[in-house]
Amino acid sequence: RDLRLLAADLVFDLPLVGQAARKAGHTMACTSDAHRLLEAGELTAVFPEGYKGLGKPFKDRYKLQRFGRGGFVSAALRSGAPIVPCSIVGSEEIYPKIGDVKLLARLLGLPYFPLTPL
């Protein structure tokens, strides 16, 4: 089975990235889409930290950020789908965030605009 990702709305708003995500079969992280995929028996991935996991300061690397409201758990319970915990370690090393340009992030409609030595 193909892995279908539940992604933040932001992913689908980005030029090229949103189109590629849709072509790959990914969908928005919302309750109705989660129920639809799980009830159809689709292999579905969710990132409970959301983009907060990538946007944390370098000093907070390897520390979990607060999860959302647990909607993926209730969707899995309702559909009878198993939850298989997985972990991606080191994503915050892609670009070590040492600062945030909040004004630029707001102007671009992004949750953060990282300052990084890379």
CA dihedral (63, 68, 71, 77) in degrees, to 10, reads: 20
Give residue 28's domain range.
3-115
| pLDDT reading at 70 higher than 70 | no
Percent of the chain with pLDDT over 70: 97
Query: From residue 18, how far is each of 23, 25, 54 by CA, in Å?
Result: 9, 11, 18
| pLDDT reading at 100 higher than 70 | yes
Q: What is the number of domains present in the chain?
A: 1
Rounded to 10 deg, the angle between the 31-39 and 71-79 helix axes is: 30
pTM comes to 0.72
pLDDT band at 69 (very low <50, low <70, confident <90, very high): low
pLDDT band at 1 (very low <50, low <70, confident <90, very high): confident
| pLDDT reading at 95 higher than 80 | no
